[in-house]
Amino acid sequence: MEPTTGLTAFFDDRYTTDGAEFETLRKSSTVRDRVLDDGRWVIRSPRPLTEAEVLAVHDRCYLEALGSGDPAGLAGSNGIGWYPNLLEAVLWSGGGVRDAVLEALQERRPTASLSSGLHHARPESGAGYCTINGIAIAVRAALAAGAVRVLVLDLDAHCGGGTVACLEGVAGFEQVDVSTSGYDAYEDTSAAALRISSAGTYLDDVARALDSISRPGTIDVVLYNAGVDPHEASGGAAGITTDTIARREALVFEWAAANDLPVAFTLAGGYRSSRLDLGGIADLHLLAFRAAAQAAGLRAA
C-alpha cells in the first residue's frame, strides 16, 4: 500500500511519453517506484501547466509547433524528437516543478517533482533533450506567489544556459551552477554564476559555490536541478562515483537545512550507458530523496 503521509513528490503517469525510449521521457516511472519504497514520500499528481504559464517563458510559435508537430524541426528541437503526446507530457512534468516550488515555499519543507528535460529549453525552442523550461516557469510562479528571492541551484552535468536566457532581467531570480561539461555555458551575469568543475575538485567546487551565496537566510525558496549525469557511468567525469553524488546531496540539503531554506528539486539529467541501466539511474536519483528526507528529520523506514 502506498504511504499517505510524508514529503511530497509530484508525478503523474502523463509525465511519460508513449513510444519514447529516451530517458528524459520515461525514467520517472522507475524513479517513482524507488521513491515509494523509501517510505518517506507520498506521490501526488500536479496541476499541468497552463498555456499562459508556458507563454510567459516561450514563444507562441514554439508552443504551437509542440502541439501540432509542425514545423518538424521546431517541434523536435529538443533533440529527442516529437511525439503526439509530447506537449501533454511536458505540461504535466513542468506543472510538477511549479507545484513542487509552490509547496516548498508555502510548507517550508523539501518537495520534489520527478521531472527532467528542463534547463536547456530556450524561449524560442527546445535544446539538449529539454522541451519546456519548467525551471524558469516555476521561478516565475514562486515570484508571483510572493517570493522575493528564488535561487536555482543547477548541479546537472551540463550548464543551465536555457534558464538564464528564459529569465533574463527577471528580478528575484538568481542561479548558482556547477557543471562538469561546457554544454550550454554562458557568461556570468549579475544573477547567474557558472563554474565548470572536474572530478578532482567537484565536491569542493559545490561547497565553494554554496559558500559564495550571500545572505542565504534571505532566500525564499531553492529550486535544485539535481542531475546525476556528472556520474562517471552516466557520461559524466571519471572519478565522480555514487559516493560522490551521495555526498553532494548531503552537502546541498545540509546547507539548506542550516539556513532554514525549503528546497524543491527535480531529477534533471541521468542517462544509461553500458555500465548503468534505468534502475541504476533511479538509484542515483534516489540519493537526493534520501538526503532531503534525512535533512528534514525523517528517519529511514
Instruction: Check binding of 161 to Zn ion (CB under 5 A).
Output: no
Sequence-separated (6 or more) residues with CB below 8 Å from residue 167: 136, 139, 140, 173, 191
Instruction: Check binding of 160 to Zn ion (CB under 5 A).
Output: no
CB 41 within 8 A of CB 114: no
Taking alpha carbons only, the member of 16, 21, 28, 19 closest to residue 268 is 28
Which of 69, 79 has the CB closer to Zn ion? Answer: 79
Q: How far is the CB of 144 from Zn ion (least distance, A)?
A: 28
CB 27 within 8 A of CB 20: no
Instruction: Check binding of 154 to Zn ion (CB under 5 A).
Output: no
Helices (H), the chain: 27-38, 51-55, 60-68, 72-75, 86-107, 134-144, 161-166, 202-211, 242-258, 278-295
Which of 227, 262 has the CB closer to Zn ion? Answer: 227
Instruction: Check binding of 156 to Zn ion (CB under 5 A).
Output: yes
As beta bridge partners, residue 225 has 154, 266
- Binders in 227-256 for Zn ion, by CB under 5 A: 227, 229
Among 100, 157, 159, 219, binds Zn ion (CB under 5 A): 157
Query: What H or E segment, with its residue span, contains residue 225?
Result: strand 221-225
Instruction: Check binding of 130 to Zn ion (CB under 5 A).
Output: no
Distance CA 66, CA 192 (A): 29
Stretch that binds Zn ion, among 30-38, 191-199, 239-247, 261-269 (CB under 5 A): 261-269
DSSP conformation class of 298 = P
Grid cell 542515483 — which residue?
284
Which of 179, 294 has the CB closer to Zn ion? Answer: 179
Neighbours of 142 (CB within 10 A): 23
Residue 210, all three cell numbers: 554554496
Stretch that binds Zn ion, among 60-68, 78-86, 135-143, 157-165 (CB under 5 A): 157-165
Stretch that binds Zn ion, among 107-115, 209-217, 223-231, 249-257 (CB under 5 A): 223-231
Residues 32-71: x where in contact with Zn ion by CB under 5 A, - otherwise, as a string: ----------------------------------------
Q: How far is the CB of 158 from Zn ion (least distance, A)?
A: 4
Which of 157, 291 has the CB closer to Zn ion? Answer: 157
Residue nearest to Zn ion (CB): 269
Among 269, 281, 285, 298, binds Zn ion (CB under 5 A): 269
Residues at the interface with Zn ion (CB under 5 A): 156-158, 227, 229, 269
